[in-house]
Amino acid sequence: MSFSVKKDKSGVVVVGVDGQLIVGNRQELKQKVLDALEGGGRKFVVDFVKTGYIDSSGLGVLVSLSKKIREQGGELRLAGLNEDLQTLFELTKLDTLFAITKTADEALAAF
Amino acid sequence: MVPPSPLRLHATALEMRLDVPSDLNVVGDAVQLVASRLPAGTLSPRRVSFNFRTALAEALSNAIRHGAGEDPARVVRVRVELGRDAVRIHVTDDGGGYDRTRLPDPTRPENLEREDGRGMFVIRHLVDDVAFNAKGNGICLTLRAG
């Protein structure tokens, strides 16, 4: 399974990405997050601690989801990026669009 | 039950070849298959796990989307040259080719919130050299040893 979705005690939706976020599975992530948004979730953390690589389609889906969540008054945060993935966000300047923390716990604490 | 994979890798000491159906859902499996059979030595494990995999996934999805029209009956060809000094990934589709050299900069403020348009930009930062064939339906990505 590529994604795990759980809600913490304060209602933040934490999505774990196992393996990769790429063109072939981005729709699955999108649907899971949109379902949670429709179900009333407004605060989201995507945890990449178990993620090896993300392609440009994966980056694109995060941008699109972040926009939709912001439109509903919520926020999408990212956590657990390894050094290479952090560099990917920096060189695409997407680090300026997202709040990024080292761990999901830090992201949860900052909400 | 998991359906049998349509992917068959042909590998020698000098190269690997793989025909990939033009289906975006197969990209992850194709990347996994090729990366897992890449001999150790030329590229560091970290570069295989990030640069090689991401660059191959990008090149495959570009070829499937823009070259072979996401038609699973058509095929995108992958050839990986295994050298001591470098690994070269060739991805070729059967389309008419297109110009990938004049693309908007995805890091400009007006493009930052676009969902697409980052593929070639990402590829150029992950590999040491990018070349296209004359027709524009083939790309060669070079990752030098290290």
Ranges of chain A whose pLDDT falls below 70: 1
Q: Determine the CATH number of domain A3-110.
A: 3.30.750.24
Task: Label the pairing between strands B75-82 and A13-17.
Answer: unpaired
pLDDT by residue for chain B (146 residues), tens only, comes to 555 678 999 999 999 999 999 999 999 999 999 999 999 999 999 999 999 999 999 999 999 999 999 999 999 999 999 999 999 999 999 998 877 677 899 999 999 999 999 999 999 999 999 999 999 899 999 999 99
Please give the ipTM for the structure prediction.
0.90
pLDDT, one tens digit per residue, over B86-121 is 999 999 999 988 776 778 999 999 999 999 999 999
B112 interaction partners in chain A (CB closer than 8 Å): 63, 93-94, 96-97
Using DSSP's 3-state secondary structure scheme, residue B51 falls into helix
List residues of chain B with CB under 8 Å from any CB of chain A.
24-28, 31, 46, 49-51, 53-54, 57-58, 61, 106-107, 112-119, 121-122, 125
- Of B105, B115, B122, which to mutate for an interface test with A (greatest number of A Cβ within 10 Å)? B115
Q: Are A33 and A1 in contact (CB under 8 A)?
A: no
Q: What is the pLDDT of residue A88?
A: 96
pTM recorded for the entire structure: 0.93
H or E segment to which residue B10 belongs? strand B9-11
Q: Are A40 and A7 in contact (CB under 8 A)?
A: no
Q: What is the pLDDT of residue B4?
A: 60
Domain boundaries, chain B: 11-144
A22 interaction partners in chain B (CB closer than 8 Å): 27-28, 31, 57, 61
Q: Which CATH architecture has domain B11-144?
A: 2-Layer Sandwich (3.30)
